[in-house]
Amino acid sequence: MQYKEWLNEWLELYIKASAKDRTYRKYRQQAEKYLLPALGEYEVSQLTAVELQKFSMLLSERGLAPNSVNFIVAVLRASLRKGVAVGIIDRQYSDFIVRPKIRMNKITCFSKTEQKKIENYILESRQPFLFGILLSLYSGLRIGELLALTWEDVDLQKGTVLVTKSCHDSWVGNRYVKVFDTTKTQSSERVIPLPRQIVGYMKFIRRQTGARFVVVGKSEYGAEIRSYQRTFDIVLRKLHIEHRGFHALRHTFATRSLEVGMDVKTLSEILGHQDPSITLRRYAHSLIEHKAEMMNKVGRLLG
């Protein structure tokens, strides 16, 4: 059997049946762009350790980032392992691929001064549409989780938000539409206790909008991701703050939380990470302002 036959069968029978539609489409895209052109004509018995290593190195030589190479190799490995499991392939050698080392992306967050500028702008504007930016700053919600949030998920008496779903923009027909899905991982389903100050603003927003979704938009389904990202970009330009993606709000929340002394396990659960070690690795090095403040306290001993 040629690898292209098995790869297509694996995608349709196993990935499409068990994964999110978004995941299936991502796997399919990587297969069509990289795996099928390079390996599709091979018989599965020809996919030796050497041939697979050559393929991995070819991806790197084409200038793909280590994260991208590793994802493509992960799709390849999953397809071959399943082939062995169901008896289509006698043996697979993808476990012997030496993959490029991944460097964790640099965490970018807003300084305390920049954060205060953003907060003041939103509060002074009194625009309900912008409230989601403030909510993300004080909850760590991902943008997909934020824009999927309805008032049914909010308990204003207890001051909590229940995160059980997410959303993304999907190209349908000739335009992007808002598609709702489950959360990123099982651990992403969580209850987030909100600061009392944010609960007070949420009560005001709910009375003012009367909408189903916490972050209102042009349609009954609330704001769409691309539209909201553009709005955030506009806010940063107005405030003369260097461009950062919306995810920087989540990074800022995590950084401020550590700075005020929140323990890593609690922060990990609020962020929806599978393991506190993920939180520690990702954010411990981003506390530059806090570190400088602590070092200056030590330096006062010199006086």
pLDDT of residue 103: 65
Cα separations in angstroms, 4 against 8, 35, 73, 94: 6, 8, 15, 16
Per-residue pLDDT reduced to its tens digit, 39-67? 999 999 999 999 999 999 999 888 888 88
Q: Which domain holds residue 150?
A: 112-294
Residue 105 lies in a domain: no
pLDDT of residue 199: 94
- What is the domain-level CATH number for residue 147? 1.10.443.10
State how many domains the chain has. 2
Query: Model pTM?
Result: 0.73
Between residues 20 and 248, which one has the greater pLDDT?
248
Query: Is 150 found in the same domain as 55?
Result: no
Query: Is 87 found in the same domain as 120?
Result: no
Overall average pLDDT of the 106-134 stretch: 92
- What is the domain-level CATH number for residue 83? 1.10.150.130
Q: Angle between the 66-85 and 21-30 helix axes, to the nearest 10 degrees?
A: 100
The residue from 29, 64, 96 where one domain ends is 96
Query: Is 149 found in the same domain as 34?
Result: no
pLDDT for 164 beyond 70: yes
Cβ–Cβ < 8 Å for 177, 170: yes
Per-residue pLDDT reduced to its tens digit, 65-81? 888 899 999 999 999 99
pLDDT for 233 beyond 90: yes
pLDDT for 171 beyond 70: no
**CA gyration radius, the chain:** 23
Q: Which residue has the tokens 């899905």?
A: 181
Query: Is 117 found in the same domain as 90?
Result: no
The residue from 48, 67, 96 where one domain ends is 96
Per-residue pLDDT reduced to its tens digit, 136-155? 999 999 999 999 999 999 99
Per-residue pLDDT reduced to its tens digit, 258-300? 888 898 899 999 999 888 888 887 887 666 667 788 888 898 8
Query: Is 173 found in the same domain as 56?
Result: no
Query: Is 144 found in the same domain as 280?
Result: yes
pLDDT of residue 243: 94
Residue 175 lies in a domain: yes
Query: Is 162 found in the same domain as 31?
Result: no
The residue from 96, 126, 143 where one domain ends is 96
Q: Which residue has the tokens 């041939």?
A: 51
